[in-house]
Chains A and B, each alone.
Chain A
Amino acid sequence: MLSLAGVNTHIGQYHILQGVDFEVPRGSLTMLLGRNGAGKTTCLRTIMGMWRASAGRVLCGASEIQDMKTPEIARLGIAYVPENMGIFAGLTVRENMLLAARGGAPDEKRLAWIFGLFPALEKFWQTAAGNLSGGQKQMLAIARAIVEPRKLLLVDEPTKGLAPAIIGNMIEAFRELKRTDTTILVVEQNFHFAQSLGDAVAVMDSGRIVHRGRMDALAADSALQAKLLGLSLEAHP
C-alpha cells in the first residue's frame, strides 16, 4: 500500500532522514517505533509532502507521491493525524468534522459509528474544540481522519499525554478500525499500545530504519527491545 525507498529529507541544513526504507502492507497496522528524535514525525511529514524528500521514492498504491503537493496526497485517500493533533481550536467539534468530510455533510451511519468509538464527541458536538480535554482532542483528531473511508491512515503518537484508562479506549477504537479495510501506520512511544495493536513493526534510529519485522516477534524478544528502544522489561507488563 505504502512503500518508502531510500528516502532522504533535509530540514534546513540538517540531514534528518538518511535513507528510509520500509513498507506498510495493505490492510495491516504497522507500528513505527524509535527513540525521541529518531525521525518518526519527519518521516510522516515527508510522506504527506509537508517536507520535501531530497532523494528517494514514496509510493502509495501505484502512485509516486514524493513530488506531489500535500492536498493532492491527501486526496489520494491518505489521512494524517499529526503529533500536535492539528485541531482547529476556534471551530466546534462539528465544524472540525465537517471540514474533514471533503465530500459534503458526513454520512449519518458513519457518524453514528464514530460516536460509538468516541462517545465524548457526540456530547461535545457543538463545543469549541479548543475547550476539549487533551484526550478528547486526540479522539477528535482521529475521528476527523476517519470521517470518510480512507485508504491509509498516518497517526503520530495517538497516546501522547493520555491517561492509562483512556489508552485502553484508544486501543479498542483502533481494534475496531482494523476491522475496516483501512491500512494504518502508527508512530508510537507506548510499547503496550504498540504491542496490543501492531501487525508489523519498523524501528527507526538516527534517520534510518534499523529493524523490520512482525510486532509479536519484537514483543517476545526483550533483548531486542532493549537494544532497539532502550526498553526495560519491568516497565512494560
Chain B
Amino acid sequence: MKRNGLPLALLAVLVLGALPLVASLPIWITLTVAGLAMGMMIFMMASGLTLVFGLMDVMNFAHGVFISVGAYAAASVLLALKGQAQAPGLAANLLAIGPAVLAAMALAAALGWFFERVIIRPVYGDHLRQILVTMGGLIVVEQLIIVIWGPDLIPLPRPAALTGSFIFGDAAIERYRVLAVAVGLALFGAMWLLLNRTRIGLLVRAGVENAEMVEALGYRIRRLFVGVFVAGSALAGLGGAMWAMYQESVNVQMGMQVLVMIFIVVIIGGLGSVSGCFVGALLVGLMANYTGFLAPKLALGSNILLMVLVLLWRPRGLYPVAK
C-alpha cells in the first residue's frame, strides 16, 4: 500500500513545488487546472493503448490515427449540427455533442476492430513486424483522412455551453477544462470498477500478467483481445473528440502529435497498468503546463526528462505489472 502511495506523493510534490516557482496563486490555479484537464484527456487516449500493450503485447503505432479519426468524426457532426452546437443552452448543445462523441467512438471502434482483424492478428508475437504494419496502416488512414476531409486544418468552434470560464477571485478556470477533468475522473472510476469488481476485469488483469495461463484455465483470450482492442480504440476516439474541442480545430497530424506524449505516459505508468497510466497522464499534463509557463522552450523536453527521472526511480514504471 505504501509503495502504491508514492506516485501520488510525487504528483503532490509536483503540484505544490510549482507554486513558489510560478509565484502567483491565480496563475498557479489556472495552470494546475489546465494541466489536470490535459492529463485527463491524455489518459482517455492512453488507457486503451496501455491495456492493449499489456494484454496482447502489441505495439500499436496506429493508435494515434484512431485519435485523429475520432476528432474528425466529432468535428463533422458538430459542424453539421451547427445550429444545436451554437445555440445558447446546454440542453441544445448536448443534442450536438452527444452524437458527435458517439460518432467519434463508433468510428474509432470500427477502425480498431478492422485493424485488429486484418493488420495486427497476423503479427501477434512479432514486435518488429507490428511496428512496420501498424506504421503502414497509420499512413494509409492518414491519407484517407486527407482524401475525405482535405489536407487543411478545419476550425471547430466549441459548443456554446462549453466556452467561457468560471472566475474564482483572480483565477479564471475554463469551463471546458472542468468538463475534461470530470469526464476523465468518471472514466477512471468506471475503468477501476470494471477491472476490479467484475469477472471480465479479473480476466483482463490476469491476462496482462500471463495470457497463456489464462488460456490454460479455459478462457478464450482471443475474444478478450478483440474486446479490449475495440474498447481501447473507442476511448482513443473519445479522447480525440475531446482534444479537438479543446484545440478548437482538427488537423491530420493531431493524433501523431499527442502520440509522443501518450507513449511517455504509458511507459511512465508501467506497461499495462491503468492506474499508472492515470497518474502518469496527470504528471505529464501538469508538467507540460507548468514548464510551458515557466520555460516555454523546455515544454516537450520536460516530459522526456520526467520520463527519464521516473524510470531511474522505478525502471518498470510507476505501477509495474507483475509478469
What is the interface of chain A, defined by CB distance below 8 A to chain B? 48, 50, 69-71, 74-75, 80, 82, 86, 88-91, 95, 98-100, 102, 130, 144
Q: Is B174 interfacial (CB 8 A cutoff)?
A: no
- Docked complex Cα distance between A102 and B210 (Å): 17
* B221 neighbours in A (Cβ, 8 Å): 71
Q: How far is the CA of A125 from the CA of B28 in the complex (A)?
A: 46
The interface-forming segment of B56-64, B128-136, B211-219 is B211-219
Shortest beta-carbon distance from B94 to chain A in Å:
39
Which of A86, A102, A130 is in CB contact (< 8 Å) with B213? Answer: A86
In the complex the two chains form, what is the Cα distance from A74 to B213 in whole Å? 11
How far does the alpha carbon of A69 sit from the alpha carbon of B221 in the complex, in Å? 11
- How does the 8 Å CB contact mask read for B199-210 relative to A, with 1 for contact and 0 for none? 100110110011
The chain A residue sitting closest to B220, CB to CB, is: A71
B320 to chain A, nearest CB (A): 9
Q: CB-CB < 8 A to B212: which residues of A?
A: 50, 70, 86
A70 nearest in chain B by CB position: B215
Nearest CB of chain A from residue B186's CB, rounded to whole Å? 25
B322 located at the interface, meaning its Cβ lies under 8 Å from any Cβ of chain A in the complex: yes
Top 9 A-B residue pairs of the complex, sorted by shortest distance between their CB atoms: A74-B218, A89-B322, A86-B213, A70-B215, A88-B206, A90-B322, A71-B220, A75-B218, A80-B216
- Evaluate whether A74 and B202 lie within 8 angstroms (CB atoms) in the complex, with A88-B210, A90-B322 already known: no
Q: From B319, which residue of chain A is reached at the shortest CB distance?
A: A90
Judge if B321 is at the interface, Cβ distance under 8 Å: yes
Given contacts A86-B210, A86-B213, A130-B322, contact A102 B218 (CB under 8 A): yes
Beyond A75-B218, A95-B206, A102-B217, 17 extra complex contacts between A and B, CB < 8 Å: A50-B212, A50-B216, A69-B215, A70-B212, A71-B215, A82-B213, A86-B210, A90-B321, A90-B322, A95-B205, A98-B199, A98-B202, A99-B202, A99-B206, A99-B217, A100-B217, A130-B322
Q: How far is the CB of B131 from chain A (nearest CB, A)?
A: 22
For residue B203, which residues in chain A have a CB less than 8 angstroms away from its CB? 99
Contact, CB under 8 Å: A90 / B205: yes
How many whole Å from A214's CB to the nearest CB in chain B?
30
Closest to A76 in B: B218
Instruction: Determine the residue in chain A with the shortest Cβ distance to B322.
Output: A89
B206 touches A91 (CB 8 A): yes
**A82: which B residues are within 8 A, CB to CB?**
213, 216
B220: min CB distance to chain A, Å? 5
- Which residues of A lie under 8 Å from residue B205 when comparing CB positions? 88, 90-91, 95
User: Is B209 a contact of A90 with CB atoms below 8 Å?
Assistant: yes
Chain A positions within 8 Å of B202 at CB level: 91, 95, 98-99
B209 is contacted by which of A50, A88, A100 (Cβ under 8 Å)?
A88
Collect the chain B residues with CB atoms within 8 Å of residue A69's CB.
215, 220
Query: What separation, in Å, do the CA atoms of A99 and B208 have in the docked complex?
Result: 14
Q: What residues of B have a CB within 8 angstroms of the CB of A71 in the complex?
A: 215, 218-221
How long is the Cα–Cα vector from A50 to B214 in the complex, in angstroms? 12
> What's the least CB distance linking A96 to chain B, in Å?
8
CA distance A69 to B210 in the complex (A): 17
Residues of A near B209 (CB, < 8 A) are 88-91
- Once the chains are docked, how many angstroms separate the CA of A95 from the CA of B205? 10
Residues on A with beta carbons closer than 8 Å to the beta carbon of B210: 86, 88
Q: What residue of chain B has the Cβ atom nearest to residue A75's Cβ?
A: B218
* A130–B322 CA distance with the chains assembled, in angstroms: 8
Selected contact of A88 from candidates B213, B218, B219, B220, CB within 8 Å: B213
Q: Judging by beta carbons under 8 Å apart, are A86 and B216 in contact?
A: yes
Q: Which residues in window 283-323 of B have CB below 8 A to A?
A: 321-322
Query: Shortest distance in angstroms between A49's beta carbon and chain B's nearest beta carbon?
Result: 9
Q: In the bound complex, what is the Cα–Cα distance between A122 and B31 (angstroms)?
A: 50
CA distance A100 to B206 in the complex (A): 11
Please indicate which of the listed interface residues A50, A75, A99 has the most CB atoms of chain B within 10 Å of its own CB: A99
Contacts of A90 in B (CB 8 A): 205, 209, 321-322
Residues of B within 8 A of A70 (CB): 212, 215-216
